[in-house]
Amino acid sequence: MKGILVAVSPEGVIGKNNTIPWHYSADLRRFKRLTIGNTIIMGRKTWDSLPIKPLPKRRNIVITRNDIENVECFRSIDEAIETCKGDIWFIGGSGIYSEAMHKADIIDMTLVPDNISGEGCIYFPEIGDDWKESEIRPLEDDDRLKHKKYSRRE
Residues at the interface with ligand NAP (CB under 6 A): 6-7, 14-15, 18-20, 42-46, 49, 63-66, 75-76, 91-96, 99, 122
CA distance 46 to 107: 18
**Identity of the residue, 50 or 87, whose beta carbon is nearer to ligand NAP in the bound complex:** 50
Residue nearest ligand NAP by beta-carbon distance: 93
* 101-130 residues labelled b (16+ CB within 10 A) or e (exposed): beebebbbbbbbeeebeeeebbbbbeeeee
**Identity of the residue, 21 or 56, whose beta carbon is nearer to ligand NAP in the bound complex:** 21
Asked if 15 and 93 touch (Cβ cutoff 8 Å), the reply is: yes
**Identity of the residue, 98 or 154, whose beta carbon is nearer to ligand NAP in the bound complex:** 98
Q: Cβ 27 to ligand NAP, closest distance in Å?
A: 8
Q: Cβ 81 to ligand NAP, closest distance in Å?
A: 12
**Identity of the residue, 3 or 92, whose beta carbon is nearer to ligand NAP in the bound complex:** 92
Q: Cβ 71 to ligand NAP, closest distance in Å?
A: 12
CA distance 148 to 136: 5
> Is 134 in a helix, a strand, or coil?
coil
Q: Cβ 92 to ligand NAP, closest distance in Å?
A: 2
CA distance 98 to 148: 18
